[in-house]
């Protein structure tokens, strides 16, 4: 009968061989553009839209958008209906308590929603005015 002996691997080498898994944190912001009686209203989002924590000097970047066009294209908003779109950003630091949603653009009309209180789910609903 042959005995098979497992080779001994140092704990340091085993640690080095373990997969390095980092959980991707993301922040989801559901945005409501409130109903307007104006026909042919157009909206869009710029890639220079961020979640900003001034106290930590942190900016989370926009990584995905749903139901809204990215500059230079436009999305038509139906009159007299709230229009919803979703923005997904890179994660906020663990220490973040409040943040701003800011569209930093080289023209008038960018939105800025201040002092959004952080929650445990990192999913938010805001009104764009």
- pLDDT of res. 38: 81
What one-character-per-residue DSSP string does 42-75 give? EE-B-TTEEEEEGGGTEEEEEEEEESSPBTT--E
Write the Ramachandran bin of 67: left for phi over 0, alpha for psi from -120 to 50, otherwise beta.
Answer: left
Lowest-confidence region among 19-23, 63-67, 105-109: 19-23
What are the residues facing 39 on neighbouring strands?
none
Confidence at residue 9, expressed as pLDDT on a 0 to 100 scale: 72
15: enclosing H helix or E strand: helix 11-17
Does 101 or 8 have the greater pLDDT score?
101
Q: What is the pLDDT of residue 10?
A: 74
When pLDDT is averaged across residues 59-69 and rounded to a whole number, the result is: 97
The arithmetic mean of pLDDT across residues 42-61, rounded, is 95
Q: CA–CA separation, 45 vs 111, rounded Å?
A: 10
**Mean pLDDT score, 100-112:** 93
User: What token pair was written down for 93?
Assistant: 């630091």
- Token pair for 50: 């961020």
Query: What is the pLDDT confidence band of residue 23, given thresholds at 50, 70 and 90?
Result: low
């Amino acid at each position: 009968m042959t005995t098979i002996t497992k080779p001994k691997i140092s704990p340091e080498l085993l640690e080095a061989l373990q997969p390095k898994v980092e959980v991707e944190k993301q922040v989801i912001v559901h945005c409501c553009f409130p109903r307007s009686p104006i026909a042919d209203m157009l909206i869009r989002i710029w890639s220079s839209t961020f979640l900003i924590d001034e106290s930590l000097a942190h900016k989370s970047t926009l990584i995905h958008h749903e139901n809204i066009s990215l500059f230079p294209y436009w999305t038509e908003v139906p009159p007299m209906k709230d229009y919803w779109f979703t923005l997904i950003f890179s994660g906020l630091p663990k220490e973040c308590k409040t943040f701003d949603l800011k569209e930093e653009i080289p023209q008038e009309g960018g939105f800025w929603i201040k002092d959004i209180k952080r929650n445990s789910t990192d999913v938010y609903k805001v009104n764009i005015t």
